Chains A and B, each alone.
Chain A
Amino acid sequence: MVKTNLLLFLGLFFSYELFLRVGLVNKDWLMSGQSIWSTNIIRAQSLLYDEKPAHYNCIIGSSIVGTLDKEQLPKPLTLLSLSGLSVYDGLFVLNKRDQLPDTLFVETNVLERSINANFCDKIGRSTLEVGVKGRLLSLRETSAPLNLLAQVTTSTLTYLKTKYFKDAQPSQGNEGLKEFEINNRSQTQVKTSAHIVDDFLDDLNKLKKQTVVVLFDMPVDCRLSQSDAYYEELYDKARQMGFLVVPRVNCAKYRTSDGIHLDHESSKLYTRYFVSQMQGL
C-alpha cells in the first residue's frame, strides 16, 4: 500500500502543478491570504518570485507600514508590510532575493521584536529551498488548495451578503477597543535597548554597499511612542554610519485606530509627508 500511495502522491502533485501552470485558477484568488500568517507569506513570496523589475525601491516593516496610502506611493515601489513580524523578517526575505532595491526604507517602530523562526522556515533558509519554491508553483502559499477553496467560499459568501443583507448593520468598528489596546500595549511595551539598536544598525550596515538605506518612524499614539532621547540616539548613530533618515513627525497631529495603526485620514496625511521626504532625498 505504501509504495502505491507514494506513487499516487507524486501523480497528484505533478497534476496539481500542471493545473496551476495551465492557468485555470483565478489570479485574484492567488493574491490574498486567508489569515494574517498566510498574507505575510504571500507578500514575501510575491516579492521573491513575482516582482522582478531591474530597479525598484522597497519599504519593509511591520503592519504599521501597511497603513501607508498605496495610491500616493511612487512606482516602482514594493511595500513589504508583515503583520506581527518585524523589519528583521523583511530583511531576511530581501537577502533571499538576487537583487536588492535601489533604495530601502526601513521602519524603526518595533525594533525590539525579534526575527520569527517559523516565518523564515516557511520562506526557506537554504538557497536550494527558495529556488525549488521558485520553480514549483504548487509549493507556494498562494497555491495551497484549501486556501483556494476558502477564497471561493469567501467570494460566494460575500456575494450572498451583498444580495441578501444589504441593509444589515455592519460589524462594530474598533473605537471601543482603542483605549483597551493602548493600555494593554503600554503595559507590555518593551523599551528598545541600546544593544538591540546596535545589532539592528550592524545588520543594515551589511547592505550599505548595495543599496541606499533610509530609516523612518511611523507616528503612533503619543502614549506608545518611545522617548525623544531614544530616537535622537538611534538616528544620530544611523547618520554617523551613513544612513539617511526621514525626520519624525509630531505624533499629536495623527490619529490611530488602535494606538499604533493610523486611521484613514492620518494615513493619507502621513503618506503625503513621507512621499515629499522621499522626493527630497
Chain B
Amino acid sequence: MLFNSQEFVFLFLATFILYYLPFFSRFQVHLLIVSSLIFYAYSEPILLILLLSSIGFNTIVSFAQRNLSRDKAKVWVTLGVIANLSVILFFKYSGMLANSFGFAGSEIGHFLVMLPLPLGISFFTFEGISLLVDVYKEPSENRHAVINGNFFTHLSNTLLFVSFFPHLIAGPILKASEFYPQIGGKEWRGINWEKAYCQLIVGYFLKVVIADNLKDNTFWIAYPYFIKLSSATLLTMLGGYSMQIFADFAGYSLIALGLATLLGYELKGNFNFPYIATSFSEFWRRWHISLSSFLREYLYFPLGGNRKGKVRTYFNLFITMFLGGLWHGAAWSYAIWGVAHGLFLAIERLANDYFPNRKQIVLLNWFVVFAGVSLAWLLFKLPEFSHAIIYVYHLFANWRLVPDYEQIKSISAILVYSFPVVAYHLQHMIESKQHVRVPKSVKHLLYAAMLLLIVINAGSKSEFIYFQF
C-alpha cells in the first residue's frame, strides 16, 4: 500500500479514530499490529508468512536471552544473526549468485532466480538483528528495557516494533532499544499536532510534488535513449535525479515520522540535509541515517573501526560500504555503488592526512561530494554498469550538441522542480551557520504554499524508489 494512495488514507483514518477511542485504549498496540499487517499484506497476503515467521523467530531468540549468562547469550545471538542473514541471503541474493556463478540454467538455479523478493525484507531482517544485538548488549539486569513482561507481551511488542506500518516497508530502520520503551498507552491530548503537521506537509510535498514530477523528466536516463542528448541535458538530468532520489526517500521518511507522531511514537530522523555535506563522511552522517548508523554500529565497529591501524581502517570502510551497497539490491551495480562510496571515504581519509588544510576550501569540497554522490546515483538508475559508463562518456562527448525544444522543456522542468530541494538545504544552512531564523509568518506562508502545491501540483503517482530494497 502506498502512503499516497486512497486505500492508505482510509486505513490510516480508520486506525487513527479507533486508536484514540476510550474503548480501544487497552488494545492500542493490537490495533496497530492489525493495521500494520493489513498495510503490509494488502496486495499479497502470502507475504505475511515470511514476516510473521521472522518476527516469531526473533521473539523467541531474544526472549530466550533474558536470563542467560553472557557467554550463552552470545551463542544465541550469533545463531540468531546468522539465521536472519540467511533469510535475506536466500530471498534477496540467491538469484544474483545463481546468475553470477553460472548455475541459473539448472533446475535449482532457475528456482532461485524466480524467487520473489518479499517487500521490505531488508528492513525487517535488519530490525530483527537490531533486536537480538540490543538485548545482548544490555547488561542482563537492564534487558527488561526491551523484554518487558511475559512472552506474549514481548511477542506483541516485537510484532509492533517490526511491523509498525509507518516504517515497515522503507524504514527508517528502528533500534529496539529506542522503540520498545515507547510502547504503551497513548492519549489524544499527547499528540504533537504541529510537529506531525510539519513532517507530513514537507514529506508529501517532497514526494508528490517534487519527486513525482522530477521522475517524468529524468525518465530519459535510460539506455540507449540518452546517447543522443546534449551534455547540458545529461548534466541537468543527473542533478535532477539526485534531487529526485532525495525528495522521494526523504519524503517517505518524513511521512513515516509524521504518521508515527500522530500515533504517539517518535522515530528518529533519517535525513539531515545531506546535500550540504562537504565531505563524504559527513554525507553518510546525513543520508539514510538509520542505515548508516546500523552499519556503523553493527558492522564497522565490530570489524574494528579505525582502531586497528590505517590499512585495516581502509579495509573496514571498504567492506562496510560494499555490504551497504549490496543491502540496497541484489545486483552487482549496487555493490559497485557501495565500493565507489568506500573508495570516496578512503581517499578522503588519505587526503585529510596529507592535506589537513583542504577542509577550508568549502565550496570545492561541497562540489566534489555532490558530483561524486550524483555520479554514483547513476548506478541506481542504470543498473547495467556499462550503461552508466556510456552515460558519463556522453556527458563529456556531447558538449557540441545543443538541446532541442523537447530537451529544453525537460531541463526547465528539472530546474524548477529541483529548486525547492536546493532552497530547503540552503535555508537550513543559513539558519544553522548564520544563526538567522526564518520569521514565523514566512514559515506559515511556506507551509501553506506547500500544501497548496500538494493539492494542485502533484505529479503522476509512483512507488517510492526505496520500496525495491
Which positions in A face B, CB cutoff 8 Å? Answer: 1-2, 4-6, 8-9, 11-13, 16, 34-38, 118-119, 121-122, 138-139, 143-147, 149-151, 153-154, 157-158, 161, 165, 168-174, 176-177, 180
Contacts and interface: CB of A to CB of B under 8 A. Distances in A.
Given A1-B197, A37-B459, A158 B408 contact: yes
B225 interface: yes
A95 to B, nearest CB: 20
Nearest to A34: B413
Contact of A139 (B233, B408, B456): B456
Given A153-B415, A154-B409, A176-B227, A121 B461 contact: yes
A159 to B, nearest CB: 10
B229 interface: yes
B427 interface: no
CB-based closest 9 A-B pairs = A35-B216, A153-B412, A8-B448, A168-B402, A34-B413, A172-B228, A154-B412, A144-B457, A150-B416
A4 B228 contact: no
27 contacts: A2-B197, A6-B451, A8-B447, A9-B448, A16-B456, A34-B217, A34-B409, A34-B413, A35-B413, A36-B216, A38-B216, A118-B460, A121-B6, A143-B456, A146-B213, A146-B453, A146-B457, A150-B413, A153-B416, A158-B408, A161-B408, A170-B401, A171-B228, A171-B230, A171-B403, A176-B224, A180-B224
A138 B453 CA distance: 10
B151 interface: no
Interface in B393-421: 400-405, 407-413, 415-417
Contact of A2 (B194, B219, B411, B456): B194
A6 to B, nearest CB: 8
B455 A13 contact: yes
Dominant SS among interface residues on chain A = helix
B408 to A, nearest CB: 5
Contact of A16 (B408, B410, B415, B452): B452
A35 B455 CA distance: 19
Contact of A1 (B6, B415, B444, B452): B444
Nearest to A15: B452
Contacts of B227: 172, 176-177
Interface of B: 6, 193-194, 197, 209, 213, 216-217, 219, 224-225, 227-230, 233, 400-405, 407-413, 415-417, 444-445, 447-449, 451-453, 455-457, 459-462
B445 A8 contact: yes
Contact of A170 (B197, B402, B444): B402
B416 A149 contact: yes
Contact of A145 (B216, B451, B453): B453
A157 B408 contact: yes
A140 B460 CA distance: 13
Nearest to A119: B460
Contact of B217 (A35, A172, A173): A35
Nearest to B451: A9
A5 B197 CA distance: 10
Contact of A34 (B412, B451, B461): B412
A150 B418 CA distance: 11
A173 B197 CA distance: 48
Contacts of A13: 452, 455-456
A176 B228 contact: yes
B386 to A, nearest CB: 15
B415 A168 contact: no
A138 B449 CA distance: 14
